Amino acid sequence: MPDLPEKKPALAGKAISQGPGIRLEALPEGHLLHVMGATTTEGLEAYLSTAGIKDSSVRPAGYRQWFIAGNDVLPNALVQDLSNTLADGTFVSDQSHGRVRIGVSGLRAAELLSKGTAIDLHPSAFPEGRTAMTLFGHISVQVTRIGTGDFELTVLRSFAESLYEELEALALSLGSARVAS
């Protein structure tokens, strides 16, 4: 039987771009769970705490939908436990293999992102913890403000390289340079 292809990060080899007030980087391909159903953000956060999953965040993704994102790969048993713990009619779909996260941070991060999306990224309109499904150019993304000048973009794996290259071109136009790969 032939060997199965080895999974390689979608943005492997992409350079980090950094400059005055801007940093662009591919984030670890850890876990991304899509939860749908009759639960709450607080209920999901409580479960993560009880299960000892410390470095994950719960992000609204629509009516009765959330993404749970983090840098660590979760064992299948833990994902199954989450699914079993949630109320009837609530479902968990592991999207870790199909989506990629990209970090954009710095004082000029919102300026960079505003060149490709119509979201008002001013902190009063889009505070820390806020998330929105939108387009960046022609690519569908979820944008989340994770800090004062820190954003995380989640994109379908097949569009990750195109989005990263578009973001990189914008970062370079704002004075950043490729610093590492």
- pLDDT tens for the chain, 181 residues: list them: 567 666 778 898 899 999 999 999 999 999 999 999 988 889 888 888 887 787 889 998 889 999 999 999 888 888 888 888 887 788 899 999 999 999 999 999 999 999 999 999 999 999 999 999 999 999 999 999 999 999 999 999 999 999 999 999 999 999 999 997 6
Other C-beta atoms closer than 10 Å to the C-beta of 161 total 16
Angle at 75 between CA 70 and CA 76, to 5 degrees: 115
- Asked if residue 23 is part of any domain, the answer here is yes
Number of domains composing the chain: 2
Q: What are phi and psi of 82, to 5 degrees?
A: -60, -45
Q: Please give the residue range of the domain that contains residue 85.
A: 31-94
Q: Are residues 42 and 127 in the same domain?
A: no
**Cα–Cα distance list, 149 to 23, 65, 66, 116 (Å):** 10, 25, 23, 17
- Asked if residue 8 is part of any domain, the answer here is no
Q: Are residues 23 and 51 in the same domain?
A: no
